[in-house]
Amino acid sequence: MDIVYIRDLRVDTIIGIYDWEREVRQTISLDLEMAADIRKAAETDDIQYALNYKAVSKRLIAYLENRDAQLIEALAEEVADIVRTEFGVAWMRLRLSKPGALRGARDVGLIIERGDKPA
């Protein structure tokens, strides 16, 4: 299995349950690993056979910048659904975090895996 990844994609969005969080944009960070067979892209040197990480990141940025969520759990499931359905990704791992959300911690967040991990 090959993995295409995006590390520390930062997006400003409305996220949180507290009143003050509903009034300011906060930065979230995404680390995304996506199963992809890169052999045909490597053989042909043609982007049409690659999992286009730029297209994935642009789609997620556009979505998340306009999303108003209370829980990162909701965002994580929505990101997973977009990646899997719109980009044909069979398996993915997402680490979604809120940097600076907890005093004394660099960040807080969650990690999810969705789909069947190819061998």
Q: Which residues form the catalytic set?
A: 98
Q: Is the pLDDT of residue 119 over 80?
A: no
pTM of this prediction?
0.92
Number of domains the chain is built from: 1
Q: Of the candidates 34, 14, 32, which has an alpha carbon nearest to the alpha carbon of residue 23?
A: 14
> Torsion over CA of 75, 79, 81 and 82, rounded to 10 degrees?
130
Q: Per residue in 4-44, pLDDT tens?
A: 999 999 999 999 898 888 899 999 999 999 999 999 999 99
**Residue 56's domain is classified under what CATH number?**
3.30.1130.10
DSSP single-letter state for residue 16: -
Tokens linked to 74: 């909701």
Name the residue range of residue 56's domain.
Answer: 2-115
Q: Which amino acid is at 75?
A: L
